[in-house]
Each structure stands twice: as structure tokens, then as C-alpha cells.
Amino acid sequence: MAQFDVYPHPIEELRSIHPFVVQVQSDFLRAPEARITLPLTTPSVEAPPMSRLNPNIHLSDTVFVLDTLHIVAYEPSDLRRPIANLRDQADVIWDALDYALHGY
């Protein structure tokens, strides 16, 4: 498991809303009981997100929105077979978390 790995949402019933989660927990924590994740959702025309708090994330050829305020932890065994890694978008993800937690 690596920081910024993307996994299918571990709860199948929520995949229609949040198809994927991004693991944001530090790689320095080697044997934790849980992994901190942020869900990815599809963009909504009716309610455009706050771009700093909920930035667009590019995954393959598709644009998703980082749903920062729905941060959740899952057991490592719930996160199976990463499909991608978003390390190249780390600055945008960290900016969203900073804004949510610190207001800047």
C-alpha cells in the first residue's frame, strides 16, 4: 500500500456515489490498523464543488472530484488491488486537506 494509491470503494453500495477512494496516509506508518482515505466522486453540474476544497482529480481519461470532507478510514484488508496512484496530483490533494483542516 502506498500513499495516493486509488482503490475501488470498499463498500459496494457506495460505489455509485464514490466509485474510488484515495489512500492519503503517510507511507511511514508501516503497520496501522486503518488507512485514511478520501473518496472520489463524479462531477455534478447542479452543484459545482468548491474547487480548493473539492478539486478535480484526473484518473486515466476521467475527471473525478475529491470529496475531501468525506474522509474515512478503512482496514487495510478492505483496500485491495490499487488501480492507480495519484502521486503526481499530491499538491492538489494536500491543498484540499490543508484547506479543510487549517482554513488556508
Extents of the domains making up the chain: 5-102
Q: Does the pLDDT value for residue 59 go beyond 90?
A: yes
Summary mean pLDDT of the chain: 91
> pTM (2 decimals)?
0.90
Tens digits of residue pLDDT in 15-47: 999 999 999 998 776 667 899 999 999 987 566
CB of 57 within 8 A of CB of 41? no
Split at pLDDT 50, 70, 90, the class of 93 is very high
User: What is the C-alpha separation between 74 and 79, in angstroms, rounded?
Assistant: 7
Average pLDDT over every residue of 63-86:
95
The percentage of residues in the chain with a pLDDT greater than 70, rounded to a whole number, is 92
CB of 59 within 8 A of CB of 38? no
The pLDDT value recorded for residue 48 is 62
Angle (CA) 78-21-95 rounded to 5° is: 135
CATH architecture of 5-102: Roll (2.30)
In this structure, the number of other CB atoms found within 10 A of the CB of residue 12 comes to 8
CA neighbours within 13 Å on the CB side: how many for 90?
10
